[in-house]
Chains A and B, each alone.
Chain A
Amino acid sequence: MTALSSSLGQGAYSTLPATFTEKLSKWLHWPLAVAAMLAALYFVFVVYSTGQAAWAVGLLTLFTAGFYIYLSRGGFAWRYLFPGVAGMLVFIAFPLVYTAQIGFTNYSSTHLLSESRVREYLLEQHDAVEDQVLAYSLHASGAEYRLVLKADSEAAPRWVSPSLALRAGKELRIDVAAADAATAPADAALPLPDLIKHRDALAKLVLVLPDKSELRYLGLREFGPIKPQWTANADQSLTRNADGAVFKANRDTGFFESTSGEVLQPGVKAFIGVANYTRMLFDAEFRGPFLSIFSWTVVFSALTVIFATAIGMLFAVMLNWEGMKYRTTYRTLLFLPYAVPGFISILVFKGLFNQNFGEINAILDALFGVKPAWFADPFLAKTMLVIVNVWLGYPYVMILCSGLLKSIPADLYEASALAGASPATNFFKITAPLIIKPLAPLLVSAFAFNFNNFVLIALLTDGRPDFLSTKLPAGQTDILVSYTYRIAFKDSGSDFGLAAAISTLIFFLVAALSLINLRLSAKAQK
């Protein structure tokens, strides 16, 4: 019945017969869909087979959602939404969750690999069997080469290989034969520089002696048998072959440890609970700089917003004044700091504030005979950051206020003019009370933006000058985000776990600010 009605519908409403491309797409629809599904499944399988189960599950979910949305008849709106929502989930929501998760681990440059990868790494470590090492030399044999093994470089040849092309590639097993006068190569051994050229190919050779023992490449002079340093045990621990000591992964410290307390490198990436957070609160050496960075972040954002608002509002009011000529020109010129790309204007200020050949110190020197050290003195560096940030930020407030001022009815000012009120009274009694409500949520967002104003700090001071004598390098002008960047990406150690924990803390602050913002804008709408 449904088939009948749909075919009737087709007949009743479509006047054109299906075109060639329409037919083609109908025919190709399912084969292509199935091919895409198989490709997606294969990709998920590849990811899974490399041991990344969590990633494979996430990928599978994403693909399933995609195929369901585009192949099923329901969920029509989601066909339009899927790319955007997927983009936001994968590149904004997922990084936030992932960061929070990293915050509970010891992930850092010393704890980079998972436990199973560390175990694999250790099991790959081998030692040469010292007393069975043989010296070797390489001899040209036409276009190919032959390897001759001897007890030491002076001794007579003991074993000799067949002719080898020596191309680097897969591991190659070669049977070697006992050397005698007839088989020994006539040419002289290759000198060291030529030997180095064949190093990669030689490293792939496994020489098999007639008694089936194997010799491997040990360096530019020696081949020899090797034995593994470690033996895997059933309970995931490792036994050191040299002395029989047993090492177990200690998930609290993030290292493989023996019963006697010996610790192995490399470290293991492990879940360490709230250790990163307790460090922020209770580790005195860390807490000191952390708290001063935190308070500077708040002071910096607050001062910026206060000054930018004061200046921006002043100019908005002046530009709104009809007695003022050339208002459009003034507005465009005052808007310029917002139009110039931030990374350029911040770097321009970095040059202008330079102590020795910056223009600002040249002017100050000419006027007052002083040359302040803007980048070396903590207080001056902070002052400079606020000055530059206000320069960058006031046009935004100015534009916002200009928009809001237009909505104030003119008769209010006419009434106050009749009453003989001064401009100051006008501003404080009429203008300010009327625009503060819609402006407040925007100022909270401005505060939140400056709280995370990484670009300014990174490009202008890079957090310097640094605190003296701190265990983790920290800068006096660092704000929280630039501090996490520094912990994660710049100084040695790369403590991703700690950086992620601080970032998680910032998430909560940003969320709180957003909440305040929503409350205030709801109020403004009333």
Chain B
Amino acid sequence: MAIVLGKQARWRTFAAHAVMWVFIAITLFPLLAVVSISLRPGNFATGSLIPTEISLEHWKLALGIPYQAADGSLVQPPFPVLTWLWNSIKIATASAFLIVAISTSAAFAFARMKFRFDKPVLNGMLLLQMFPPVLALVAIFAIFETIGNYVPALGVETHAGLVLAYLGGIATHVWTIKGYFETIPVEIEENAKVDGATHWQAFSRVLLPMAIPILMVVFVLAFIGTIIEYPVASILLREEGNLTLAVGSKYFLHDQRFLWGDFAAAAVLSGLPITLVFLLAQRWIVSGLTAGGVKG
């Protein structure tokens, strides 16, 4: 758009930048503050955003290393942050793998096969997804308690049980993968079948390798989705050594025991990798948001 800009427009640009700067400052303030707080000595210190005195005590505790306080006493880490991080990564990786596996195979059926009730089944799945699990926590808890009576390895207070609980949330992933499958010409698989490939071989040896980019995106989305999940994890896991990061972090900021500095270090330690992954995957996530949204 080639338009001659007057004096007024220059002021407008300046004002726009000023508004931007103010708002970015507000947006970034909490994130910068928490980094600064993680480096301040003590749990109650206030001070400037750029710490005047840097202390690594909170970082040591977050990494599980006891720390020698100024009065000579040895401060033990209040919570097993690294164990929680490991639990979270373990659960999220297992869930993401299984979610990708079952949503890919379901998406294949929807994209490539004709069968009765295909539309109602897909719509039903998308509709069910609108009810978040947080509404059925009582039932989910009761279900896993019952499962635990017969198969203790999948009951309450087990990671495998939590992974199982996450396997219900696949509808949006099925939708995303189905959309991608539909952009791949069906003729390629048909050629493979003419050459003697079975149905399964056409799927696993021909279609899947071509769909790897979308599978990776869905994997990342499912991974992040599980790692930040709080409600279900908070009712299925209760013992300290068993918790995920999302459930455990809360205990740092208990009213009677407010470990602000220790929390800050743990938050940066665990939040930074997830944020980076999210920013890297941003492009696909954004396209998924708008695409999925408009199609409803």
Footprint of B on A, CB under 8 Å?
Answer: 13-15, 43, 46-47, 50, 52, 55, 75-78, 80-81, 83-85, 87-88, 90-96, 98-99, 102, 311, 315, 318, 321-325, 330, 332-345, 347-352, 354, 357, 359, 362, 391, 396, 399-400, 403-404, 410, 413-414, 417, 423, 438, 441-442, 445, 448-449, 452, 454-455, 458-459, 481, 484-485, 488-489, 496, 499-500, 503, 506-507, 510-511, 513-514, 517-518, 521-522, 524-525
Contacts and interface: CB of A to CB of B under 8 A. Distances in A.
A445 B293 contact: yes
Contacts of B128: 88, 92-93, 96
Nearest to B295: A521
Interface of chain B, helix or strand or loop or mixed?
Answer: helix
Contacts of A414: 1, 3
A507 B139 CA distance: 14
Given A15-B196, A102-B138, A351-B258, 5 more contacts: A91-B165, A94-B139, A98-B142, A323-B16, A488-B138
B275 A84 contact: no
A50 B129 CA distance: 33
B73 interface: no
B168 A87 contact: yes
Q: Which 5 residue pairs spanning A and B have beta carbons closest together?
A: A91-B168, A95-B136, A84-B106, A521-B296, A80-B109
A281 B234 CA distance: 31
A517 B129 CA distance: 14
Given A344-B270, A344-B271, A92 B30 contact: no
Interface in B96-115: 101-103, 105-106, 108-110, 113-115
A99 to B, nearest CB: 4
30 contacts: A14-B196, A78-B115, A80-B109, A83-B106, A87-B168, A88-B168, A88-B170, A95-B133, A98-B136, A311-B23, A325-B17, A334-B27, A343-B246, A347-B250, A347-B252, A348-B34, A352-B33, A354-B260, A400-B293, A403-B290, A414-B1, A441-B296, A454-B134, A454-B231, A458-B230, A484-B138, A489-B141, A496-B142, A500-B138, A507-B131
Contacts of B19: 318
A335 B279 CA distance: 9
Interface in B206-248: 224, 227-228, 230-231, 234-235, 245-246
A410 B2 CA distance: 11
A399 B45 CA distance: 37
A359 B167 CA distance: 40
A77 B113 contact: yes
A44 B54 CA distance: 62
A442 B289 CA distance: 10
Contact residue range for chain B?
35 or more
Nearest to A14: B196
B184 interface: no
Given A80-B109, A96-B131, A341 B294 contact: no
Given A96-B135, A351-B260, A514-B127, A341 B275 contact: yes
Contacts of A511: 130
Given A347-B267, A423-B12, A359 B135 contact: no
Contacts of A449: 132
B228 A342 contact: yes
Given A99-B138, A330-B20, A423-B12, A347 B132 contact: no
Contacts of B260: 351, 354, 357
Contact of A92 (B33, B150, B169, B296): B169
Interface string B3-45: 1010001001100110110011011101101100100000011
Contacts of B110: 81
Interface string B143-186: 10010011000000000000011011111001000000000000
A76 B118 CA distance: 13
A87 B135 contact: no
B263 interface: yes
B139 A98 contact: yes
Contact of A524 (B30, B118, B140, B294): B294
A101 B203 CA distance: 41
Contact of A351 (B24, B168, B171, B253): B253
A80 B278 CA distance: 30
Contacts of A442: 293
A81 B137 contact: no
Given A43-B150, A349-B30, A448-B130, A339 B282 contact: yes
A440 B82 CA distance: 43
A330 B24 contact: yes
B228 A323 contact: no
B17 A324 contact: yes
A485 B137 contact: yes
Nearest to B42: A357
Contacts of A441: 293, 296
Contacts of B87: none
B121 interface: yes
B83 interface: no
A423 B113 CA distance: 51
A350 to B, nearest CB: 5
A32 to B, nearest CB: 18
B250 A84 contact: no
B202 interface: no
Given A83-B102, A343-B230, A400-B289, A336 B109 contact: no
B256 interface: no
B138 A452 contact: no
Contacts of A423: 12
B52 interface: no
A465 to B, nearest CB: 12
B102 A318 contact: no
Nearest to B294: A438
A218 B294 CA distance: 71
A81 B114 CA distance: 12
A84 B170 contact: yes
A223 B245 CA distance: 51
A77 B121 CA distance: 12
A96 B278 CA distance: 31
A211 B143 CA distance: 50
A342 B294 CA distance: 25
Interface in B54-102: 101-102
Contact of B274 (A78, A321, A341, A359): A341
Contacts of B165: 91
A396 B289 contact: yes
Contacts of A324: 13, 16-17, 20
B135 A344 contact: no
B20 A339 contact: no
B230 A452 contact: no
Contacts of B171: 88
A81 B121 contact: yes
B170 to A, nearest CB: 5
Contacts of A518: 296
A411 to B, nearest CB: 9
B95 to A, nearest CB: 11
B199 interface: yes
